[in-house]
Chains A and B, each alone.
Chain A
Amino acid sequence: MMKWNTLKYLFKEGIVGLWKNRMMAIASAGTIILCLLILGTSYSIGTNIDFILKQVATKFGVTAYVNDSVSESEMLELRTKIENMPHVAKVHYISKDDAIKSFSEDNKNEMFDDFIQDNPLPASFEVIVDDIEFQEQVVGELTQMTELDVRYLAKETDIFIKINKTIKYIALAIIGSLIIVGLLLMSNTIKLTVYIRRKEINIMKFIGATDWFIRLPFLIEGLVIGAISALFSIMILVLSYSYLSEVLKTNLIGMLNGIAFMPAVDIMRTLIPLCMGIGIGIGLIGSGAAIRKHLKV
């Protein structure tokens, strides 16, 4: 075990080394920042597409019309039954009165008065599933209930599911390859740093320094570079995300039709720890891996 004052010394060495080799440190930090920015951007776009698609999906509800023969109490029972089905997120009940009310409002005529006594419209349940992929399954179960007449957009749902899946895979592939590219770039940059300083490492070995004594300052350098780069990237991402979503919101308000972007706070809740983790991880792993080869003297 290392003594406390040795640890203190090595920590200081790491910080001093960072300053004395600041050009390389800046180069490494630049690489990490670039990677984290691309990563953060694709993550933001990916989660927003997912977020928006989920909102669109809620408009793809299943409508189940209820037979007029069903009584009030049976209606309540039916509702609980539907609510307890797997993958049902929300059930919205529209009574006969609600139906005629909204129908006459939509059509702007006086039909409401004519039909109020003898309402031809059935009561219905708007069933919203938690994941559009399970819509088919929920529809199947609803159809089995004889009191219900189920209507939904079968074709549209199918296409939607396909689009949704494709986008998810593409986003995953982009993020995955970016992490790999980032690690490669980073380890190359740090390899260069270590290569420049291999003589130093060699000298340390000759005067009897243990591997950890040599490694620790480099790891601390890597850690600090990673953390600083992560902080920078997070700052840039937060500022540009809030700015861009604000601009898009004010300019596209008509087109969006009530669909919102993910709030900055929600997206940063995952993005900040993600950037910190990847930044520090790349810094530590990169410098650790780069120095390995040179320790064998």
Chain B
Amino acid sequence: MIYLQNVSKVYSNGAVGLSNISIGIEKGEFVFITGNSGSGKSTLLKLILKEIEPTQGKILVNNKDVTKLNRKQIPYLRRDIGVVFQDFRLLPNKTVYENVAFAMQIVGATAREIRKNVPITLGLVGIARKARCYPNELSGGEQQRTALARAIVNNSPVLIADEPTGNLDPTTSWEIMNCLQEINKRGITIIMATHEREIVNALKKRVIEITDGTISKDAYEGGYDDEMEYSQVFV
């Protein structure tokens, strides 16, 4: 599904984002990316979304070489990858329903498809009751559910979550995690960057830890503080 091969990123100011890392993530996996702030987590996610270009190496998403896409092709790459952020990033002028419908408008869905799929997706993440509310009328958890609905409404095969629970209290965080697990059960690959040990330790999923731009741990059924269980997947 997603393969990085000997990828390095050095920023123009000389800071090293990532140095020579290789990762393989298969379809349907649930992967935690952990590491301190500035370790290179965000660089990794930005590279997959082609927000930035790698200095070296090859990145494959859904069998497409991301590094070879031109500017015009980026939107089509991003349609294959749903994204949720710590700060939700909903359109403030649109209701919950409209925010989710907007993602379908972008891919050119018909009005019929939108009327059918949006309510189903809102139901799936448990936000159907608030469909007519604007983002500023929602709690953090409700906003993140809306963002999740938007990320999956187009059946993108990959979901990237950048600290999705970072702004939420523990109870709400767990609700969002349950939501993510539900989504994962439907075969959607999930890559989640996080700081929260409790969540990582409890879920027993694959954990990739990044330290100073290199992979310091890649463990299946891992925990945040596990001993090194390095199992590089070669492409």
A232 in contact (CB, < 8 A): no
**Inter-subunit contact B89/A203 (CB<8 Å):** yes
B234 in contact (CB, < 8 A): no
**Inter-subunit contact A208/B78 (CB<8 Å):** yes
**Inter-subunit contact A6/B108 (CB<8 Å):** yes
In the assembly, what is the distance between CA of A2 and CA of B49, in Å? 24
A244 in contact (CB, < 8 A): no
Distance (whole angstroms) from the CB of B101 to the closest CB of chain A: 10
Taking CB atoms, residues of chain B closer than 8 Å to A202 are 89
Distance (whole angstroms) from the CB of B100 to the closest CB of chain A: 10
**Inter-subunit contact B91/A208 (CB<8 Å):** no
Distance (whole angstroms) from the CB of A277 to the closest CB of chain B: 31
Taking CB atoms, residues of chain A closer than 8 Å to B49 are 206
**Inter-subunit contact B108/A2 (CB<8 Å):** yes
Interface size class of B (residues with CB under 8 A): 20 to 34
Taking CB atoms, residues of chain A closer than 8 Å to B51 are 297
**Inter-subunit contact B89/A206 (CB<8 Å):** yes
In the assembly, what is the distance between CA of A6 and CA of B108, in Å? 6
- Identify whether the interface residues of A are mostly helix, strand, loop, or mixed: helix
A207 in contact (CB, < 8 A): yes
User: Chain B CB within 10 Å — which of A6, A200, A207, A297 has the most?
Assistant: A207
In the assembly, what is the distance between CA of A297 and CA of B79, in Å? 15
Distance (whole angstroms) from the CB of B158 to the closest CB of chain A: 12
Interface string of B87-114 (1 = CB under 8 A from A): 0011111000000001101111011000
**Inter-subunit contact B75/A210 (CB<8 Å):** yes
Interface size class of A (residues with CB under 8 A): 20 to 34
B41 in contact (CB, < 8 A): no
Taking CB atoms, residues of chain B closer than 8 Å to A211 are 72, 75
Taking CB atoms, residues of chain B closer than 8 Å to A81 are none
Distance (whole angstroms) from the CB of B177 to the closest CB of chain A: 22
A204 CB contact (under 8 Å) in B76, B106, B151: B106
**Inter-subunit contact B107/A3 (CB<8 Å):** no
**Inter-subunit contact A208/B93 (CB<8 Å):** no
Distance (whole angstroms) from the CB of B123 to the closest CB of chain A: 20
Residue of B nearest to A199 (CB): B89
Interface residues of A (CB under 8 A from B): 2-3, 5-6, 9, 17, 20, 199-200, 202-211, 213, 297
7 A-B residue pairings within 8 Å (CB atoms): A203-B89, A203-B90, A208-B75, A210-B72, A210-B106, A211-B72, A211-B75
Given contacts A3-B108, A208-B76, A210-B75, 7 further A-B contacts (CB under 8 A): A20-B93, A203-B89, A205-B78, A207-B150, A208-B75, A208-B79, A210-B106
Interface residues of B (CB under 8 A from A): 49, 51, 72, 75-79, 83, 89-93, 102-103, 105-108, 110-111, 150-151
